[in-house]
Amino acid sequence: MKKVWLALLVIGCLGLATIAQTELPADVQAWVNNVRAKYAGVTIRVSATPHPSIEAFKAMTPEFTALTGIKVEYDEVGPVELREQHFAAHTAGTGAFDVLMTDGFWIEEYAQKGVIEPLRSYLENPELTPAWFDWEDILPAYRDTISSVKGEPYGVVTAGESRFIAYRKDLFEKYGIRPPTTTEELLEAAKFFNGREPGLYGFVSRAARGIYFASGWLHILYQFSDGWIDQKTGKVIADTPPVIESLKYWVELLRQGPPDIATYTHEEASSAFMAGKAALWFDATAIAGWLIDPAKSKVYDKVGFLPPPVGPNGWYGGLAGWNFAISSDSRNKGAAWAYIVWMTSKFNAKKYLACGGVENRVSVLQDPEVTSRNPELYSALLKTFEAAANLAKKGMKWIPPTWLSFGVLDIMGDYGNMALMGELTPEEACKRAAAELRALFGQ
Amino acid sequence: MTCPVLCGKHSVGIANVKKEIRFAIWAVTPATVAVVLLSIACFSLLFYLCFLSLPSGVSWSERQFVGFQNFTRVFSRPETLQSLFLSFAYPIIVTVGALLVGFCVALIVVNRSPRLKPIFVAAIIVPQVIPMLAAGVMWKLIFNTEFGVLNYFLANLFQVRINWLGAASPALFAVILVDIWRSSGFMGLVCLAAMEALPKELFEAASIDGANFLQQIRHIMLPLLFPVILMACILQLVASLHAFDHIFIMTTGGPGSATSLLSLAAYRIGIARGMLGEGSVYALILSILALIVSYGPIRLLRRQFK
């Protein structure tokens, strides 16, 4: 028995050595050697939230550490607490974290307050950023919106996402219902399936008070209106009839969901869908992988995907997601950047995807080897990006372009949740929220 | 007639006690001074923050004095009154509930055989040692409408499924229940320790005189335990006023504003929304409420010791 264990240990070590010494292209090896010479033995800390992208990076970390000698520690908290953790660390100036997982909703605020480093000098230095990283290969929609502030890059997208619909193909086929393409059809389908079978609800999405509700409301906000804030003048328009209409619609749609949907984050919504409790799900494209993962989802082989619906105001999609950014307080900025380069490079893009990561690059979305795995998913993804591009054509951003965006989302989400609970009518909720927004902006 | 030997010894005894008291005062003075100074400093800073506009992440030097603007904004929100009412009622309900449960458990334990006592004591200590954040996660799963074990039993036994955390009243009931579950341990331990210190002869004498169990509790046990129970209630009231952890995990103050106590409002507005000035106003109101709620019992306690 002892000999068996010894044999296994030797094989394991040989395996590790093999990984470490796998033949890398010459330019990659040169970069690895350079990084190893400078940063071997350094430990960096990544502040993150549980997400498929982080699971993928953790799976890729042993190879990174074996090659570069840089050790990586992950500190994970909930998405809302993550922002507070970043601000607390920045205010204290401890340099507790080196790499910050930064939501596209926060990046403008982070840049304004000096929480993260501008990246232009890193990107333009070929010694720090080799050609095989390929910044231009990152989807421009992500690169130029959620990763940049006024044209300056502050983050590298790790999990760019839009928002689309997943639906139970088996149920739609069983009852002969056409997959919805408009907001009206979506609501009708949700109402049809709600309670249609024991334990089945019509619709799930995120609806917990605060940023979760607001983030869900954004799925259809632009289908009805031009948003909560006029992006040309900066005036608050959250109490205008189109916005009220959008909230009425969203509340009615959420009411086709489980009775406790008012407490749902994206995790509960996805869990409910994966457990077969809902006919329709509307959430982040980055989570789609969970829904079709046999290890996680009971309905993995019954899921179809659809782009966001067309609404009275047009057809628009979201552009959001997560980035990796360098903390301005980091004492290991070079090592942090080396980590970001390795994990998000074009060279490792397929490996990242294979480990459960998200498609962020043009080359990946155009690769037949990738798209053939789930043609319906990728077709829906491409249509979703098309919808998202429509907003950009209007000169607008999906995330309110202000460094106070978190406060905007928190206020809209609080009052939206109260409307869902029936504490306020949608009109009252929008009026009160607009008053708070005006106070926030000093209007 | 003097008694030099006995009187001399009596004088020495009093002198020793006075010496011990002086030593005790000196011993606690440094810690007391430190606590008082820290409290004054923190409270002064809190008070000052109430008059500032200081978004989170902005440096201290960029603060702006805005007068009573933060107070106006806080009190113009209708939810503030609800938070105030909740923060007044919640600690009273939790304290009374925890006291009833803790007292009953202690009464059972003190009358049990020595072999069963450790089991009961462990049962009331366990909720105390679980961190409230972890307890919140545990109870959130228990109360889950679709997957929770509570609804599983209710559905199988009574064909009933309650929307625990998604409806206003059940959500409030749920967070109160969790706090009572946790706080009963503390109350139970205090009552148990006090009960065990009571002289058994009193109860034996009462029993001989014909007093039944309930009469003994009402006329002997409760009056003797009153100062200890009062002290425990004061501590519990203040602790419950600051309840945050499990409510944040279970409901984040929702659904709507159903469980939004002042502590959660202070966090939401001050930290999550980044408006430190307005968040400080909520914290100030909470501090004043703590003084009001604890004033009555403290006065009662002082009278007891006079």
3-state secondary structure B211-258: CCHHHHHHHHHHHHHHHHHHHHHHHHHHHHHCCCHHHHHHCCCCCCCC
- Residue B280 confidence (pLDDT) above 50: yes
Question: ∠A141-A144-A145 over CA atoms, to 5°?
Answer: 75
Q: Report the gap between the CA of B287 and the closest CA in chain A (Å).
A: 23
Q: Using an 8 Å Cβ cutoff, are B145 and B255 in contact?
A: no
CA B272, distance to chain mean position in Å, is: 25
Q: What is the pLDDT of residue B207?
A: 87
Q: Do B145 and A421 touch (CB under 8 A)?
A: no
Residue range A5-17: mean pLDDT, rounded: 47
- Residue A3 confidence (pLDDT) above 60: no
Q: Report the gap between the CA of B86 and the closest CA in chain A (Å).
A: 16
Least confident of A307-316, A405-414, A425-434: A405-414
Amino acid code (one letter) for A343: M
Residue range B218-225: mean pLDDT, rounded: 89
- Residue B107 confidence (pLDDT) above 90: no
Q: What is the pLDDT of residue A17?
A: 43
Amino acid code (one letter) for A311: G
- CA A343, A349, A353, A357 torsion-angle sign: positive
Q: Do A260 and B165 touch (CB under 8 A)?
A: yes
Q: Whole-angstrom Cα distance, residue B241 to residue A229? A: 38
The domain made up of A163-316+388-441 has a fold known as D-Maltodextrin-Binding Protein; domain 2 (3.40.190)
Q: Report the gap between the CA of B273 and the closest CA in chain A (Å).
A: 5
Residue range B280-301: mean pLDDT, rounded: 87
Q: Using an 8 Å Cβ cutoff, are A248 and A224 in contact?
A: no
Q: Which residues of A touch B274 (CB under 8 A)?
A: 87, 406-407
Q: Which residue has the tokens 């056409």?
A: A178
- Residue B6 confidence (pLDDT) above 60: no
Q: How large is the ipTM?
A: 0.77
The values of phi and psi at residue A12, to 5°, are -60, -45
Q: Which tokens go with A362?
A: 């043009």
Q: Do A115 and B57 touch (CB under 8 A)?
A: yes
The values of phi and psi at residue A306, to 5°, are -135, 150
- Residue A213 confidence (pLDDT) above 50: yes
CB contact B177 to A (< 8 Å):
no
CB contact A80 to B (< 8 Å):
yes
Binned at pLDDT 50, 70 and 90, residue A16 comes out as: very low
Q: Report the gap between the CA of B269 and the closest CA in chain A (Å).
A: 9
User: Between the ranges A25-39, A87-101, A375-389, where is the mean pLDDT highest?
Assistant: A25-39
CA distances from residue A218 to A146, A228, A253, A441 in whole angstroms, order as listed: 15, 10, 13, 20
Q: Whole-angstrom Cα distance, residue A257 to residue A255? A: 5
Q: Do B166 and A260 touch (CB under 8 A)?
A: yes
CB contact B137 to A (< 8 Å):
no
Question: ∠A241-A243-A244 over CA atoms, to 5°?
Answer: 60
Per-residue pLDDT tens for A150-199?
889 999 999 988 999 999 999 999 999 999 999 999 999 999 999 999 99
CB contact A103 to B (< 8 Å):
no
Q: Where do the domains of chain A lie?
A: 25-161+320-366, 163-316+388-441
- Residue B56 confidence (pLDDT) above 80: no
Binned at pLDDT 50, 70 and 90, residue B203 comes out as: confident
Q: Which residues of B touch A208 (CB under 8 A)?
A: 252, 254
Q: Using an 8 Å Cβ cutoff, are B88 and B293 in contact?
A: yes
CB contact B246 to A (< 8 Å):
no
CB contact A263 to B (< 8 Å):
yes
Given this structure, which CATH class describes domain B70-305? mainly alpha
Residue range B241-265: mean pLDDT, rounded: 91
- CA A422, A424, A427, A429 torsion-angle sign: negative
Residue range A123-133: mean pLDDT, rounded: 95
- Residue B5 confidence (pLDDT) above 60: no
Q: Do A208 and B165 touch (CB under 8 A)?
A: no
Percent of residues, chain B, with pLDDT higher than 70: 93
CA distances from residue B41 to A336, B35, B239 in whole angstroms, order as listed: 39, 10, 21
- Residue B164 confidence (pLDDT) above 50: yes
- Residue B244 confidence (pLDDT) above 80: yes
Amino acid code (one letter) for A146: I
CB contact B249 to A (< 8 Å):
no
Q: Using an 8 Å Cβ cutoff, are B164 and B148 in contact?
A: yes
Q: Report the gap between the CA of B280 and the closest CA in chain A (Å).
A: 16
Per-residue pLDDT tens for A214-269?
999 999 999 999 999 999 999 999 999 999 999 999 999 999 999 999 999 998 99
DSSP state at residue A182: B
A 266-305 residues with CB below 8 A of B? 271-272, 275, 277
Sheet containing A163-168, strands listed edge to edge, beginning at the edge strand earlier in sequence? A201-204, A278-284, A163-168, A303-306
Q: Which residue has the tokens 């790499």?
A: A99
Q: Specify the length of chain B in residues.
A: 306
Q: Report the gap between the CA of B159 and the closest CA in chain A (Å).
A: 14
CB contact B80 to A (< 8 Å):
no
Q: Whole-angstrom Cα distance, residue B300 to residue B141? A: 41
Binned at pLDDT 50, 70 and 90, residue B64 comes out as: confident
- Residue A84 confidence (pLDDT) above 90: no
Q: Where do the domains of chain B lie?
A: 1-49, 70-305
Q: Which tokens go with B108?
A: 């059972």
The values of phi and psi at residue B123, to 5°, are -65, -35
- Residue B38 confidence (pLDDT) above 90: yes
Give chain A's mean pLDDT: 91
Q: Measuring CA to CA, which residue among B231, B200, B235, B190 is closest to residue B94? A: B235
Q: Which residues, including other chains, have CB under 8 Å from residue A127's CB and lie 6 or more apart?
A: A34
- Residue A14 confidence (pLDDT) above 50: no
Peptide bond before residue B199 is cis, with ω within 30 degrees of 0: no
Q: Whole-angstrom Cα distance, residue A28 to residue A338? A: 12
Q: Using an 8 Å Cβ cutoff, are A161 and A297 in contact?
A: no
Q: Do B256 and A209 touch (CB under 8 A)?
A: yes
Residue range A96-105: mean pLDDT, rounded: 94
- Residue A1 confidence (pLDDT) above 70: no
CB contact B118 to A (< 8 Å):
no
Binned at pLDDT 50, 70 and 90, residue A365 comes out as: confident
SS3 A321: strand
Q: Do B254 and A209 touch (CB under 8 A)?
A: yes
Per-residue pLDDT tens for A57-82?
999 999 999 999 999 999 999 887 89
Q: Do B255 and A417 touch (CB under 8 A)?
A: yes
Yes or no: domain A25-161+320-366 corresponds to CATH 3.40.190.10: yes
Q: Whole-angstrom Cα distance, residue A188 to residue A280? A: 11
Q: How would you classify the pairing of strands A278-284 and A156-161?
A: unpaired
Q: How many helices (H) and strands (E) does chain B have?
A: 13, 2
